[in-house]
Amino acid sequence: MEQKKNIKDFTLEELESYIVQNKLPKFRAGQIFEWIYKDVESFDQMTNLPKDLVNKLKQELYIGRAAIEVKLVSKEDKTRKYLLKLEDGNAVECVLMEYSYGKTICISTQVGCRMNCAFCASAIGGLTRHMTSGEMLEEVMAVSRDIGERISNIVLMGTGEPFDNYKEVIKFLRTVNNQKGMNVGQRHITISTSGLVPKILEFAEEELQCTLAISLHAADNPTRNTLMPINKKYRIEELMDACRQYIKKTNRRITFEYALIKDINDSEESAYKLSNLLRGMLCHVNLIPINKVEEKVFEKANKTAIDKFKSILEGNGIEATVRRELGSDINAACGQLRQQYGV
């Protein structure tokens, strides 16, 4: 017998063609889709479907779920960190943060990562496998189930490089946005990349209103080469060129992420270099005091350096914010939980 498929891996359109192929009326697909994202556990709960359709679904499909393996709740700021166990036993992390505008979940897009950034805990152990769109949807659903509330904002900034798993990530974005499903607004979704140039250009053509974030972390090639190996493939000039094309095509503002690391990229000279790179661009800079990862040598820039860096950018007409640090008492950042639990 053919292996059962996870129904959460179907877009609404894919579900429609499945239904039509089975010579059933197309509207059944919409009904099934709605039930899935109301988070039913079994096909038997889909009470408006004919019995033989329910039986067919049961035979051919299953409703994929992830189990909460570990949950940590910050005493400082209510940030929650989850380690979710996928069906094949692999585990991924996601984080729920509370902001004034609502709850934001940071999800993983791959089990592990192959970008190998020097400061990032997710790089340790390399890439195990890509995640499916259904597994990404289930990250949002599992956490929403746990808190008993809808999640309004999503950032793809957990473990993995979203553009290294492009097809599934795009499928996830479209499905999570579907009004019949979770209906998370595209403008409430941010996708972050280490700079896969061809995919940035492809993403510009998707007609999605999501925010694109670029992990820049350095404004010159030698420094970026030491921090992010991807820079050896797509250098800063090429990356900035792709960003300009993206802005031209979409008219959307890009967020540049810049993790400030003591004595590596936090000097005034670095701030001027970054200003020169971004001047006149439709963008915003997110300055992130780097999170110390045990296995790595990098230190956080000090407060004076961070403030100075920010004021230089602003002096050059570049909007910048310093990202608030959340959940530091629960190791909330960047792949740290998987390491700790050895999965």
Q: What is the DSSP letter of 188?
A: G
Characterize the bridge pairing of strands 102-106 and 67-73.
Answer: unpaired
Part of the chain binding ligand SAH (CB under 6 A), chosen from 36-44, 54-62, 114-122, 313-321: 114-122
Site string for ligand SAH, 288-327 (x = CB under 6 A): x-xx-x----------------------------------
Give the Cα separation of 247 and 244 in Å (integer): 5
Part of the chain binding ligand SAH (CB under 6 A), chosen from 34-42, 71-79, 137-145, 187-195: 187-195
Give the Cα separation of 17 and 21 in Å (integer): 6
Identity of the residue, 32 or 333, whose beta carbon is nearer to ligand SAH in the bound complex: 333
Nearest distance, CB of residue 322 and ligand SAH, angstroms:
12
Nearest distance, CB of residue 94 and ligand SAH, angstroms:
12
Identity of the residue, 112 or 134, whose beta carbon is nearer to ligand SAH in the bound complex: 112
Part of the chain binding ligand SAH (CB under 6 A), chosen from 14-22, 113-121, 267-275, 308-316: 113-121
Is 283 designated active site?
Answer: no
| Selected catalytic residue, list 16, 93, 138, 139 | 93
Q: Extract the tokens encoding 282.
A: 């439709």
Tell me if 318 sits within 8 A of 275, measured CB to CB.
yes
- 3-state secondary structure string, 272-316? HHHHHHHCCCCEEEEEEECCCCCCCCCCECCHHHHHHHHHHHHHC
* Site for ligand SAH, residues 225 to 284, rule: CB under 6 A: 257, 259
Cα 307 vs. chain centroid, distance in angstroms?
28
Query: Going edge to edge, which strands form the sheet with 320-322?
Result: 67-73, 80-85, 91-99, 102-106, 153-156, 189-193, 211-215, 254-260, 283-289, 320-322
Binding footprint of ligand SAH, residue count (CB under 6 A) = 18
Identity of the residue, 36 or 94, whose beta carbon is nearer to ligand SAH in the bound complex: 94
Is 93 designated active site?
Answer: yes
Tell me if 220 sits within 8 A of 226, measured CB to CB.
no
Residues that bind ligand SAH (CB under 6 A): 115, 117, 119-120, 157, 161, 192-194, 215, 257, 259, 288, 290-291, 293, 333-334
Catalytic residues: 93, 334
